[in-house]
Chains A and B, each alone.
Chain A
């Protein structure tokens, strides 16, 4: 069974630029999460989708971050414009009903 796929693996941008991350969850997983992980810390939930609907986006900085999950499968997370403090690893995870969540390898973003 294929795992959660994320791209790109690494991205370096200048502050005020835009960036987008892509996630393809495990087939059949209705729940999809985007997390932000600062180096050495636990992941912080940004947004949770159930199929193509948003369940929780309370910690998403909506003035600069946006996410969508068209057709309830793939998802994209966008930052526009980026700030230095956005430097982090962005993790995508998917989950089927009450089973465990499985994570992708993440995208390491560096904002300079």
Chain B
């Protein structure tokens, strides 16, 4: 079974704090994507990481792909109330019968309090 485990499942913090969300698997991915989803909407892509060890920054968000391409992390610096939402990681498989398959973690619900 190909599983993606996200942690923590819930995160409640004050505005201005930093946080990290983790995404782990025993499978190797060709790429890993992070999405943010607000209530009543579909997931919106934040970033795609492809190369092992890759680090990408998007304003206050930093994404890292593990060297072995099995895990990833999302770090938010100085969280704002607008960061509140469901954060999802999704791994894409490259080969065999799983080609193109996109598997999601269970998500991290982030609440940032003013």
Q: B62 on the interface (CB 8 Å rule)? A: no
Q: Beyond A48-B101, A56-B101, A101-B102, is A42–B88 a contact (Cβ under 8 Å)?
A: yes
Q: B103 on the interface (CB 8 Å rule)? A: yes
Chain B residues whose CB sits within 8 angstroms of the CB of A95 once the complex forms: 100, 102
Identify which of B41, B48, B102 contacts A33 (C-beta below 8 A).
B102
Cα–Cα distance between A40 and B86 once the two chains are bound (Å): 8
**B31 shortest CB reach to chain A, Å:** 8
> Considering only CB atoms, which chain A residue lies closest to B50 in the complex?
A98
Interface range on chain B (Cβ under 8 Å from partner): 20 to 34
Interface range on chain A (Cβ under 8 Å from partner): 20 to 34
In the complex, chain B residues 55-114 whose Cβ is within 8 Å of any chain A Cβ:
86, 88, 90, 97-107, 109
A48 touches B86 (CB 8 A): no
Chain A residues whose CB sits within 8 angstroms of the CB of B11 once the complex forms: none
Q: B53 on the interface (CB 8 Å rule)? A: no
Cα–Cα distance between A102 and B102 once the two chains are bound (Å): 11
Cα–Cα distance between A92 and B111 once the two chains are bound (Å): 26
Cα–Cα distance between A63 and B103 once the two chains are bound (Å): 23
Identify which of B31, B41, B97 contacts A106 (C-beta below 8 A).
B41
> Considering only CB atoms, which chain B residue lies closest to A55 in the complex?
B100
Known contacts A41-B106, A93-B102; 7 further A-B pairs (Cβ under 8 A) = A42-B88, A42-B104, A45-B101, A48-B101, A55-B99, A101-B102, A102-B45
Instruction: Offer 30 A-B interface pairs, CB within 8 angstroms, sorted by A.
Output: A33-B102, A40-B86, A40-B107, A41-B106, A41-B107, A42-B4, A42-B106, A42-B107, A43-B88, A43-B104, A45-B103, A45-B104, A50-B100, A56-B97, A56-B98, A56-B101, A91-B42, A93-B42, A95-B102, A98-B31, A100-B48, A101-B33, A101-B45, A101-B90, A101-B102, A102-B45, A103-B42, A104-B42, A105-B42, A108-B40
